[in-house]
Amino acid sequence: MNSKTYAPRYLDEPNRYFGLPLDEFIIFIVCLLVTVNAFDYLILGILCASVVIYAIKKIKKGQGQHYLKQIAYWYLPNVYQFRFIPPSCVREYIG
């Protein structure tokens, strides 16, 4: 079966970049760049970024695709701005 189209295994499967979903790939690249720029060791950067990705995979296990966004909403409300969603620091609305 040599077709040029790709059929995902599941319909809601996220796009993958080098085997990682987009949110994990961005974190991997940021950790890699910070470590390489700070210490000038590529191997140390890859090792540190791999450890961070392993920890994130453990946190996300069984929680769903957008779990990191939910954590960012509840614990970092001023860092990540969501459209059409009230701030998480407001717990009760009067009237």
Q: What is the pLDDT of residue 9?
A: 77
Listed as ranges, residues in the chain with pLDDT below 70 are 1-2, 77-83, 95
Q: What is the pLDDT of residue 54?
A: 92
Rounded to whole angstroms, the Cα distance separating 86 from 95 reads 15
pTM assigned to the model: 0.66
Q: What is the pLDDT of residue 77?
A: 62
Domain chopping of the chain, boundaries: 17-62
Q: What is the pLDDT of residue 41?
A: 85
Sort residue 18 into left (φ over 0), alpha (ψ -120 to 50) or beta. Answer: left
Rounded to whole angstroms, the Cα distance separating 70 from 66 reads 7
Q: What is the pLDDT of residue 51?
A: 92
